[in-house]
Amino acid sequence: MAEWLVEQGIGEHRAIRLAGERITHARIHLLGTLSAGTVIDAKLISRTAGGPRGLAQTSTGEEILVDRLPKAASEGAQLRIVIHRAPIAERGRLKLAQGRPTDAEPYQPSLADTLASGGNHVRIVRRFPACDWDELIGEALDLRTEFAGGCLLFAPTPALTAIDIDGALSPRMMTPVGIPALADALHRFDVGGSIAVDFPTLADKADRKALDEALDQVLVGWPHERTAINGFGLVQIVARLERPSLLQLASWQRGRMVWHRLLRRAEGLNGAGIIELAIAPALKSFARPDDIEALARRSGLRIRLREDTGLAFTAPHAQLVVDG
């Protein structure tokens, strides 16, 4: 049985599966957001005339697209709803959470609960063992990952996640190295939903068939549907979408991802003094006072926030400084 390690960090919970010191699978849940499996009460504020769909709102103002509404449910009715897709931030808008009515008891699962409910072995740890978490988040923020002979370029959009396989190798030589890298990235970045993959064009039908067979091998055991590669090198993959991927978080929740990575680095500091968090001015709006207080409690140290115009938005740093 696969083991997931879970860190219950400040502002987010994160989970990984490891092979040695390398992350093979990862997930992030932003605290304060609805997650799949949550059972919550909400008020029906509108519904499609004569249809089973409507819009509900929780007591804290979160809106949920609701399906399978009973005919008797009128606007203003109180409903109990189970969430089956978390809200996903996109450029200029929020894709609302989706749910349906239920008779279950109210429930707010943690990331560890969600993983355990899927039959996984879960272990909550104070800190992950030595691994490439920082590198993984860096790749997500760059929307790019390298492999021998090429790279994967990612472009999350409201409709789908586009992945371009690029490099200096010939199209035929790209297949044996690019396909394992693609499968690796899908798991490491927790990608779901509609995915469009652009391979180098393969003119020979036999080469395209070999690529399809290689895709079948590396994606075995991962629930999805896909098209065969077409003459232009395009493959469409559809997988279940329950939550935002790391790539979507890096694109549409970029400030929170950068801030949370900084907090994690600060939690890992050892020694005496003051923890100084140096950030670009543009990141300050994401520096929540509650998060800073939580860091002080966890570390037992004072926290100093310093703006530095010379720092890039994605390159804040944490260090211990002398208390003086």
For the segment 110-144, what is each residue's pLDDT rounded down to a tens digit?
A: 999 999 999 999 999 999 999 999 999 999 999 99
Beta bridge partners of 163: 154, 197
DSSP H stretches of helix in 80-170: 111-117, 133-142
Q: Does the residue 281 lie in any domain?
A: yes
Task: Encode pLDDT of 266-300 as tens digits.
Answer: 999 999 999 999 999 999 999 999 999 999 999 99
Using an 8 Å Cβ cutoff, are 237 and 224 in contact?
Answer: yes
46 and 73 share one domain? yes
- Contact indicator for 122, 115 with CB cutoff of 8 Å: yes
User: Is 300 inside any structural domain?
Assistant: yes
Q: Quick check: 41 and 80 in contact, CB under 8 A? A: yes
pLDDT at 2: 76
Indicate if 125 and 95 belong to the same structural domain: no
For residue 324, name the pLDDT band (cuts at 50, 70, 90).
low
Domain membership of residue 114 (yes or no) is: no
Do 149 and 168 meet the contact criterion of CB atoms below 8 Å apart?
A: yes
Handedness of CA 125, 129, 135, 136 (dihedral sign): negative
Q: What is the reported pLDDT for 1?
A: 63
Q: What does 256-278 look like in DSSP terms, one character per residue?
A: HHHHHHHHHHHHT--SSSEEEEE
Is 90 exceeded by the pLDDT of residue 50? no
Would you state the structure tokens that stand for residue 46, as one six-digit string? 């509108």
Residues 261, 300, single domain; the answer is yes
How far is the C-alpha of 14 from the C-alpha of 70, rounded, in Å?
37
Does one domain contain both 289 and 206? Answer: no
With a cut of 70, say whether residue 47 has pLDDT above it.
yes
Considering the domain architecture, whether residues 150 and 234 belong to the same structural domain is answered as yes
User: Which of 216, 239, 262 is a domain's end point?
Assistant: 239
> Over 90: is that where the pLDDT of 169 sits?
no
Residues 92 and 50 in one domain: yes
The answer to whether 162 and 154 are in contact (CB under 8 A) is yes
In this prediction the pTM is 0.93
What are the backbone dihedrals phi and psi of residue 215, each rounded to the nearest 5 degrees, phi first?
-60, -45
Q: Residue range 80-91: average pLDDT? A: 92
Looking at per-residue confidence, does 316 or 323 come out higher?
Answer: 316
Residue 172's Cα: distance from chain center in Å? 32
Question: 231 falls in which pLDDT band (50, 70, 90)?
Answer: confident
Question: Are residues 17 and 123 both part of a single domain?
Answer: yes
Q: Give mean pLDDT, residues 5-29.
A: 97
| Average pLDDT rounded to a whole number, residues 12-18 | 98
Tokens of 112: 């560890």
Q: What is the pLDDT of residue 167?
A: 86
Residue 285 sits in a domain whose CATH number is 3.40.1260.20
Which domain CATH number covers 226?
3.30.1710
Across the range 8-32, mean pLDDT stands at 97
pLDDT for 235 beyond 90:
yes
Pick 92 or 104 by higher pLDDT. 104
For residue 268, what are the domain limits? Answer: 253-321
Same structural domain for residues 17 and 125?
A: yes
Total domain count for the chain? 4
For residues 288 and 206, membership in a common domain is answered with: no
Both ends of the chain: CA-CA distance in Å? 51
Q: What is the pLDDT of residue 175?
A: 81
